[in-house]
């Protein structure tokens, strides 16, 4: 299991836990109730949960003209202790006035780290690869600053995108990666970059992350932590060939997005992989999967990533016992293999899987 980094957000005197709920689009409206059910099943393991329903998403944009209303941001900042986000539809073609609300939330709430643990749960580890890694993805910059231009030249259209890498953001994500590694048995960090080509931007990321421990390097180790590096293209190759070499992978925004989705293929489904968007004062759980409009409303979406995301959120708030109960219940259901959704080869409905996990909790 993934322990929270040492900078805990828990407050001992908290009598209730106010959780912002943003189902957004597609199957987000089906899996977020699963996360809610898991938290409610914990009883006294966590402060009394209060769920605050909030609006965001592409479908809301089509009705209101905004994907992330100010009221939602204000509520998250002033009323909520944490939040859960479902899924958002992102049209592949430009839609005038629309911008992804999850990207905006990460910036507005300063949720600079996207933390995605990927762990295999298998009846027979000899049959499937043993995967137990965490992708720590910088969450606020890289190409996701969305500064793009397009002009027409004598050779046709020409499009450009600005890629932003800063020392501050790289240092913060490096610190999160090292603090996460210290909670894990192997204490190993791999820095993912492409500085052999992007020597200035990726070079700055690489150099800054390496400098975070503030300790002299001795035989590849900084104190209790071992540091390795991998070019992003070869990292994806080795991820599929020998995933057991990785423990904590830290990467700029785009690379981290791709690597974590690729890693999900090793454990069976995107529907199993959770994440949290974390800052120093707020945390928001978010399953890695998308809005899956092709299966929305059919009661066959996999709810396990959302339930695991709720556990991750609780762990970062300092409620490790509750997080353990959810994670252990999910693992048992996966390992038994009797009540699973179609993406995992099962025939069960979303609601049936939720009921089975809640029973185990």
Residue indicated by tokens 């409303």 = 297
Per-residue pLDDT of 96-155, as tens digits, reads 889 899 989 999 999 999 999 999 886 455 555 688 999 999 999 999 888 889 999 999
The residues carrying an active-site annotation are 144, 194, 233, 257, 261
At 94, is the pLDDT very low, low, confident or very high (cuts 50, 70, 90)? confident
Asked if residue 261 lies in contact with residue 58, where contact means CB atoms within 8 angstroms, the answer is no
- Annotate 322-348 with DSSP letters as a single string: HHHHHHHHHHHHHHH-SS--GGGT---
Per-residue pLDDT of 175-218, as tens digits, reads 999 989 988 999 999 999 999 999 999 999 999 999 887 655 55
Asked if residue 130 lies in contact with residue 244, where contact means CB atoms within 8 angstroms, the answer is yes
Per-residue pLDDT of 150-160, as tens digits, reads 999 999 999 99
Is 1-111+279-361 assigned to CATH 3.40.718.10?
yes
* Equal fold, 1-111+279-361 vs 118-272: yes
Q: How far is CA 58 from CA 88, 100, 101, 108, 261, in A?
A: 7, 8, 8, 18, 22
Measured in whole angstroms, how far is the alpha carbon of residue 257 from the centre of its chain?
Answer: 9
Query: What is the reported pLDDT for 127?
Result: 56
Q: How far is CA 288 from CA 29, 88, 148, 263, in A?
A: 15, 11, 25, 11
Is 118-272 assigned to CATH 3.40.50.300?
no
Distance from C-alpha of 120 to C-alpha of 129, rounded to nearest angstrom: 8
At 73, is the pLDDT very low, low, confident or very high (cuts 50, 70, 90)? very high
Task: Give the start-to-end residue ranges of the domains of the chain.
Answer: 1-111+279-361, 118-272
What is the three-class DSSP state of 75? helix
Distance from C-alpha of 138 to C-alpha of 165, rounded to nearest angstrom: 10
Residues in the chain: 361
Q: DSSP character for 242?
A: -
């Amino acid at each position: 299991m993934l322990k929270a980094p040492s900078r805990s957000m828990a407050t001992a005197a908290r009598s209730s836990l106010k959780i912002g709920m943003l189902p957004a689009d597609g199957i987000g409206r089906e899996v977020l109730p699963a996360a809610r059910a898991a938290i409610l099943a914990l009883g006294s393991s966590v402060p009394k949960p209060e769920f605050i329903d909030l609006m965001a998403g592409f479908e809301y944009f089509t009705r209101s003209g905004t994907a992330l209303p100010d009221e939602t941001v204000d509520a998250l900042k002033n009323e909520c202790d944490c939040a859960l986000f479902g899924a958002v539809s992102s049209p592949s073609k430009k839609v005038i006035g629309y911008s992804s609300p999850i990207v905006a939330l990460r910036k507005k709430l300063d949720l600079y780290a996207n933390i995605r643990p990927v762990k295999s749960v298998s009846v027979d580890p000899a049959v499937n690869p043993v995967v137990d890694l965490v992708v720590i993805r910088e969450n606020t910059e890289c190409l996701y600053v969305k500064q793009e231009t397009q002009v027409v030249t004598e050779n046709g259209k020409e499009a450009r995108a600005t890629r932003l890498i800063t020392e501050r953001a790289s240092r913060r994500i490096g610190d999160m990666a090292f603090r996460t590694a210290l909670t894990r048995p192997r204490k190993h960090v791999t820095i993912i970059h492409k500085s052999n080509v992007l020597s200035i931007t990726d070079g700055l990321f690489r150099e800054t992350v390496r400098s975070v421990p503030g300790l002299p390097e001795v035989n590849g180790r900084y104190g209790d932590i071992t540091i390795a590096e991998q070019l992003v293209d070869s990292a994806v190759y080795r991820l599929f060939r020998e995933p057991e070499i990785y423990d904590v992978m830290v990467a700029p925004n785009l690379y981290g997005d791709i690597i974590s989705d690729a890693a999900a293929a090793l454990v069976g489904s995107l529907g199993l992989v959770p994440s949290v968007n974390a800052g120093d004062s707020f945390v928001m759980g978010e399953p890695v999967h998308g809005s899956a409009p092709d299966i929305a409303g059919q009661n066959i979406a996999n709810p396990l990533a959302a339930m695991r995301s709720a556990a991750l959120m609780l762990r970062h708030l300092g409620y490790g016992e509750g997080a353990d109960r959810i994670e252990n219940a999910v693992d048992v259901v996966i390992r038994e293999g009797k009540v699973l959704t179609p993406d995992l080869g099962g025939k069960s409905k979303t609601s049936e899987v939720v009921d089975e996990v809640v029973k185990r909790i």
